[in-house]
Chains A and B, each alone.
Chain A
Amino acid sequence: MKKVLGYLDRWSVEPGDGVKVMVSTYGVGHYDAALVRVICGDDSPAGPGFKEEVAAAFAGRFAGRMQPINAGSYGVVPHAPAFDGPGGLTLQATIYPTTPGKGVQGIITKWREADHSGFALYIDASGCLALRLGNGAGNRIDVSSGQPLPARAWCLSGASFDPRTRTVWLYQAVQASWAPPAALVERRVELSAIGRNDVPLLIAAFVSNENGMVACSHYNGKIESPRLRRRPLGGEEMAASFNDAVPPQLDADVVGAWDLAREPSSDRIVDASANRLHGQLVNLPSRGVKGFAWRGQEFCWTKAPREYGAIHFHDDDLYDAGWKPDFSFVVPAALKSGVYAVRLRAEDDEFHMPLFVRPRRGTARERLAFLASTATYLAYANYQWPLQEPLAEIKNQAVLVLEKGDVFLQEHPEFGLSTYDKHSDGSGSRYATRLRPVLNMDLKGPAWSFNADTHILDWLEATRQPFDVITDEDLHAEGVSLLANYGAVLTGTHPEYWSTAMLEGVRTYLDRGGRLAYLGGNGFYWRCAFHPCWPGAIEVRRAECGARYWIEEPGEYYLQFTGEYGGLWRRLGTPPQMVVGVGTVATGFDASSYYRRQPGSFDPRAAFIFKGVGASEPIGNFGSLGGGAAGLETDGADALLGTPPHALVLATSEEHSPGMMLVPEETGFHHVVMDGAQNPAVRADMVFFETPNGGAVFSTGSIAWAGSLAHSRYDSNVSRITTNVIRRFLDPTPFKLPR
């Protein structure tokens, strides 16, 4: 059972920066916190062993408290006098509900439960469109269409109230050829006036009456053109008004007409009416999504914004947990660059919150940089795909083993999703954030992503190789200027996600003579995006192809954050082979294998790499990740995809298992020769090539590589090759491009 969790307000810091620490405890009165330097997070018997040391910044005991998380996205428009107009009202929206049978869900609400004041257009407990009205004195009226809404069909929805005649109208018109005729309900009610309140107007939720909660009864699905009028529209007038040609700013009856097609790359919702009752989105719902007007002719929201006027809300969206800081500290000026963590302990439970301490901006302390794959760590944050996927066990080729954190996530969906998971309505989760506890960034868990990267940190420590730590988010923000400070850069085991700025930064670094050692696999694979409105969040659209754990919605391949086309870099003009010589070919988790030297390794240009390595010895036929250095996810060279013609294939893995499979983009059709036992394309290629102006690239093409570094007390051919590469890469003598 988890007893303590937390998060930091940032992952990358430099000396002198302040860090806020947010903590929640569960069933314990206090916790202990300390800053530790992370050396190795792998505590498995097969690994190098868990290693951390307390850094001097702070340590202490703190009182615990439980802090809630309010997941679920919605729009909020602050209360304004314009909402207090006299008379009746009309509420309208075009909706595309995805879970109409999931209980009460707000569409447009300004409802205060405490005194039953206000109004709400919503989906009721029986899945029907409904209107709620209250007089503010305890009298509440609910009128239902009586016709359950179908899931995943557009519906013109509206409701109005005329206090003079005490009449309510409800209009529900599903826009599908198979749908029943529009429902139009007219009913007399015992209510003469709507009670005013000062709660905000919400789109896609209700204001909550629970302590500390902001919103509840979240809506799943798309909403377009939410609108509030002061005048009640009845019957035919309601139906006709969905095609209203009068611009909302010229319609005196309109209180608010939120045009969700405007500023789609922001967290603002713009009121097109003269009242300018603009609002804000909470918890990162999806924008850049198809609206009711989409006809399948245009696929990019930037080119046809009117066809992309909807927002897709989810009851499990989350951007910022919003916990109150428990304490803060300043990164000491003398703290050397490295990977640290704030360690929390409560009774028998422990939780680490990693912190990447970089040198001061514009400076470098060492000649070598370790580029922490924080974009990838983010994409995987709170990964829980196996908890929902029937094929997860078959993919893993073993009964699923859940850690304490996995069990916690299963039982606490409010902690949000990774970009590998599906929302509760079955749509893909495009966003992930670090502004919440990220349970799989804890140390001592499975050696994957961040924890696997500590194998490299451990090896650097053991071989006494000084290094600085920099992060993907730094690279995104500063581009090549971040890398230019270094003679050589090391990646982690799995640098999978790259923003355009990150990729341009590393390519320019190489073109200017930089040296890059790619010590992983499945790297440089997906395009991702960051956005200044949502620091700490990442967006991914899983378009077209690739190893996808959910499939992107057709027509929604363009990223909301940037307007760029999403998907694999392989399909975006920059395959990984163009950058690092190799790109993803296979994945499999049952067993890893070893490399065999290829003719390229005997080229004099590669002699420095194999110094001390025998001509025929297998490379990496050992290791803590599947028993070999080549495995988990592997890459191959491919001239058709951009491997430079002068690149040397130094070694290639062989004897892979039946559980190691070609990735989908490597084959155009299904066949029965897809696995490592049958198909020689299932492999890892180790590659070296020179770049202009004296630079070079070395790639292992395997996630498992780093799991072999510690073998035999860090004295193996895997360790030797890595050492040879780094030593030469730090030697300023230029590499020469072969002619």
Chain B
Amino acid sequence: MYKLDPAKRHLIDEFRARPRGPHGPELTLLVNRLRMGPVKDRYVLVCTKPHREWVLAQLPGERGGMMKMHWQNCFADLDAAERFVFALRWKQLTGEPLP
């Protein structure tokens, strides 16, 4: 599996500059690593105002379960939301905040 390396700051900068891609070959590996994982508790965005507002949420992982909404994490653009989820997952996988 691809290993996350905080020393590769250029990849993080590349992501921040263009969070929704297309990404270069190594950043693609990094982003795919962050995106691997189970459905349960997966971060998603729920559109709360069409094309204008999205709220961070987590999937329950089973049919009929309620979405876990993170109302305090509300975004006006999808790039910002992608950056936020990227940082959350980085912290989850490395135990360290995103450099």
- The distance in angstroms between the C-alpha atoms of A229 and B51, with both chains bound, is 62
CA distance A659 to B82 in the complex (A): 17
Assess whether B78 is interfacial by the CB under 8 Å rule.
yes
Chain A residue at minimum C-beta to C-beta distance from B52: A45
Specify the chain B residue showing the minimal Cβ separation from A44.
B51
Q: Does A176 lie at the interface of the complex (its beta carbon under 8 Å from any beta carbon of B)?
A: no
Q: What residues of A have a CB within 8 angstroms of the CB of B65 in the complex?
A: 410-411
- Asked if B63 contacts A390 (CB within 8 A), the reply is no
A394–B67 touching, CB < 8 Å? no
Q: Is the interface of A mostly helix, strand, loop or mixed?
A: loop
Docked complex Cα distance between A278 and B80 (Å):
61
Chain B residue with minimal CB distance to A422? B63
Are A399 and B32 CB-contacts (below 8 A) given A444-B50, A659-B22? no
Contact with B along A381-418 (1 / 0, CB 8 A): 00000011110011001111111100100111100000
Q: Are A43 and B22 in contact (CB under 8 A)?
A: no
Residue of A44, A316, A401 most packed against chain B (CB within 10 A): A401
Residue of A nearest to B47 (CB): A403
A-B contacts, CB under 8 A, total: 82
Q: Is the CB of B64 within 8 A of A393?
A: no
Kindly list chain B residues whose C-beta atoms are within 8 Å of the C-beta of A590: 20-22
A402 — which chain B residues lie within 8 A by C-beta?
44-47, 57, 67
Q: List chain B residues, Cβ under 8 A from A403.
A: 47
- A110-138 CB contact bits vs B (8 Å, 1 = yes)? 00000000000000000000000000000
Is the C-beta of B42 less than 8 angstroms from some C-beta in chain A? yes
Interface residues as binary, A11-33 with B (CB distance below 8 Å gives 1, 0 otherwise): 00000000000000000000000
Bound-state Cα–Cα, A658 to B63, Å:
32
Take A316-B63, A399-B85, A410-B60 as given contacts and tell me if A659 and B47 are in contact as well, using a CB distance cutoff of 8 Å: no
Distance of A315 from chain B, by nearest CB (Å): 10
- Inter-chain contacts of B23 with A (CB < 8 A): 658
> Is there an interface contact between A410 and B67, defined as CB atoms closer than 8 Å?
yes
Q: Does A397 lie within 8 Å of B21, measured CB to CB?
A: yes
CB distance from A398 to the nearest CB of B (A): 6
Complex interface residues of chain B between 6 and 56 (CB less than 8 A to chain A): 20-23, 25, 28, 32, 35-39, 42-47, 50-51, 54
The contact of A394 among B35, B39, B50, by CB within 8 Å, is B35
Task: Evaluate contact between B50 and A43: CB separation under 8 angstroms.
Answer: yes
- Give Cα distance in the complex from A43 to B25, angstroms: 34
- A547 CB-CB contact with B under 8 Å: no
CA distance in complex: A407, B45 (Å): 10
Contact between B21 and A591, CB atoms less than 8 A apart: yes
Known: A402-B67, A411-B65. 6 other contacts (CB 8 A): A388-B63, A390-B39, A400-B44, A400-B45, A590-B22, A657-B21
Give me the interface of A with B, judged by CB distance under 8 Å.
43-45, 316, 387-390, 393-394, 397-404, 407, 410-413, 424, 444, 590-591, 657-659, 677
List the 7 closest A-B pairs by CB distance, nearest first. A413-B63, A400-B44, A657-B22, A413-B64, A401-B45, A393-B35, A394-B35
Write 24 A-B pairs (CB below 8 A) sorted by A numbering. Answer: A43-B51, A390-B37, A390-B42, A393-B35, A399-B43, A399-B78, A399-B82, A399-B85, A401-B44, A401-B45, A401-B78, A402-B44, A402-B45, A402-B46, A402-B57, A403-B47, A404-B47, A410-B59, A410-B64, A410-B65, A411-B65, A444-B50, A590-B20, A590-B21
